[in-house]
Amino acid sequence: MMLVPKSQADLIQRFEEKTAIIGIVGLGYVGLPLVLRYAERGYKVIGFDIDLEKVEQLQSGRSYIKHIGKDRLSAALDQGFEATTDFTRASDVDALILCVPTPLDSHREPDLSYVLDTVDTLVPNLRANQIMSLESTTYPGTTDEELLPRVQSRGFVVGEDFFLVYSPEREDPGNAKFSTSTIPKVCGGYSAACLEVGLALYGQVIDQVVPVSSTRTAEMTKLLENIHRSVNIGLVNEMKIVADRMGIDIHEVIRAAATKPFGFVPYYPGPGLGGHCIPIDPFYLTWKAREYGVSTRFIELAGEVNSNMPDYVIAKLTDALNRRRKSVNGSSVLVLGIAYKKNVDDMRESPSVILMEKLTALGAEVAYSDPFVPVFPKLRHHAHFDLASVELTAEVLAGFDCVLVATDHDEFDFDLILKHGALIVDTRGRYLDPDAKVVRA
């Protein structure tokens, strides 16, 4: 019979008895829902973030994420949740769950600076009998190649007196069908002992935890999930262009194909890819694959198709204005929806912003309307627009040369838009019936 090391057994027992203190590092769209879930299950939670404004908002009971209600946050605070910028308090917790960004740099290569800077800040405050879990999407090998040696630099024996796992986030903001607790969670450990502790950490708050053989397997699993979406969206975007040239409505085609009860999963075209995962994650694998002499042509081609979609939309919009004897230069364009997908306030990698930049460069006068984004925020790597959301009224709509449906929030009154908009360029297939005012893009 295998003897379980005392530190491992003690830590597992603390998770099972809910006496463990949970540390969540990064209080955004992934970290904050996780905070609330652990608090709901009776754990004391400490949230870490470098953004003092976020910390102060949370401490005062105010949520900065639309789909996270004030009541849930208040309940977490009553349970003892604290938010802090003081990373020395990492020594107070039993688990450190890292939920920080992993963007691309200006050369479209992985930027692990957020992860590595966070770990470097935490390392001096680590202690024995803790577990660190990385949830940020990254390339296979990151946990073992980057996090492991940093933890070992403190003299810990990982798998005996310190535990390390990778468990990719699977949040889908705005999706009412699934929550943090109901989405199955993959977990891979540096060792078998690490995995057991990881399963105990997540098993108390997630309905189904899926163990895999290693951190690399878990890292690759996350990439496959997102590359699967990227490739299929690239396919349907290319099909949209072909169908348009043939005078066929791609949305009618998708609806018809979706009636097949096997072998087909519907994906829908759009103006480009957005969000923190799909536009970025495939490049993490293509970059790492080069180290092994492998060319990921299929993945890169899908990325190229998706990246070119904003240009396709601009070309369709330009042609539509030309047919009405107007040029883009000097025309007024109202962009509907600047979040990356419907019914959320998340603007990360939103194709709407790229469309606004391209329209402005062509001389258009650009405004936007988005009920979830009242004021245009400052974004990394993008131009800043000194704009506020325009209220949609008959008079406002009639005052624009073109209305560009970029993100089709359900709160928009699409009948009103159709009635009073002079020209509507629809990138989301919201208008299914033919109409002289509507141009599909």
The catalytic site residues sit at 277
Kindly give, in sequence order, each residue whose CB lies less than 8 Å from that of residue 123, ignoring residues fewer than 6 positions away: 150, 151, 153, 154
CA distance 284 to 168: 14
For residue 110, the 8-state DSSP code is B
Q: Is the dihedral of CA 23, 28, 31, 34 positive or negative?
A: positive
Residue 86, number of CB atoms within 10 A of its CB: 12
CA distance 317 to 327: 10
> Between β-strands 162-166 and 185-189, what pairing exists: parallel, antiparallel or unpaired?
antiparallel
Q: Residues 365, 330: contact at Cβ < 8 Å?
A: yes
For residue 390, the 8-state DSSP code is P
Q: Residues 105, 71: contact at Cβ < 8 Å?
A: no
Cα within 13 Å of Cα(381), Cβ side: 12
Tokens of 417: 């838009």
Strand extents, DSSP E, 299-350? 332-336
Instruction: Tell me the chain's radius of gyration from C-alpha atoms.
Output: 24
Q: Write the CA distances from 114 to 106, 167, 180, 297, integer angstroms.
A: 15, 17, 23, 28
CA distance 250 to 53: 45
Helices 31-40 + 70-78 axis angle, to 10: 60
Q: Residues 98, 129: contact at Cβ < 8 Å?
A: no
